[in-house]
Amino acid sequence: MEGHRRIGVAVDFSPCSKKALKWAVDNVVRAGDHLILITVCPGGNYEEGEMQLWEATGSPLIPLIEFSDPIIMRKYGVKPDPETIDIVGTLAAQKEVVVVMKIYWGDAHEKICEAIDKIPLSCIIIGNRGLGKLKRVILGSVSNYVVNNGSCPVTVVKSGEYET
């Protein structure tokens, strides 16, 4: 991936992460870039050696052709939705962009910042969940944490809808 921009987009396949992905495709990604979808699953107790390694380091970079296959993705415990796959599939074909996915297990706050440094990313785009003030205080805002602790430029795409 030398010499190319590595654009990260944090995805959890929710409406706000799809909005962030669409925004990245429309406003940031250009031909020759590498688009890396970063997804974080809750930590699990895995007995298989492969899964224990992945829990510590994240999955290998998974090419679009593989993360479009539900049978392969079952191994990782992730179900990308058809809309997300359609967005990145169209992008890869039209703009000649390399699309891969990296899966982490654990706390989203820490793992997204870890991804920024380990991949490393040129920038990251993240959606906000639209938490109200009370839930944001209790749960903590992942996007706010990444803005304050990430070591690359961070763009937060607001969903415009807030939970109470």
Query: Residue 72 belongs to a domain with what CATH number?
Result: 3.40.50.620
Q: Considering its fold, how many domains does the chain have in total? A: 1
pLDDT for res 132? 52
Determine if residue 98 is left, alpha or beta; phi over 0 gives left, psi from -120 to 50 gives alpha, anything else beta: beta
Q: What value, to the nearest 5°, has the Cα angle with vertex 149 and ends 155 and 104?
A: 80
> pLDDT band at residue 121, thresholds of 50, 70 and 90?
very high
Check whether 42 has a pLDDT greater than 60. Answer: yes
Rounded CA-CA distance 82/79 in Å is 9
Check whether 104 has a pLDDT greater than 50. Answer: yes
Determine if residue 152 is left, alpha or beta; phi over 0 gives left, psi from -120 to 50 gives alpha, anything else beta: beta
Asked whether the beta carbons of 97 and 64 are under 8 A apart, the reply is no
pLDDT for res 138? 47
1 in a structural domain: no
Determine if residue 5 is left, alpha or beta; phi over 0 gives left, psi from -120 to 50 gives alpha, anything else beta: beta
121 in a structural domain: yes
126 in a structural domain: yes
Rounded CA-CA distance 164/162 in Å is 6
> pLDDT band at residue 135, thresholds of 50, 70 and 90?
very low
Q: What value, to the nearest 5°, has the Cα angle with vertex 89 and ends 86 and 90?
A: 85
Domain range for 116: 6-157
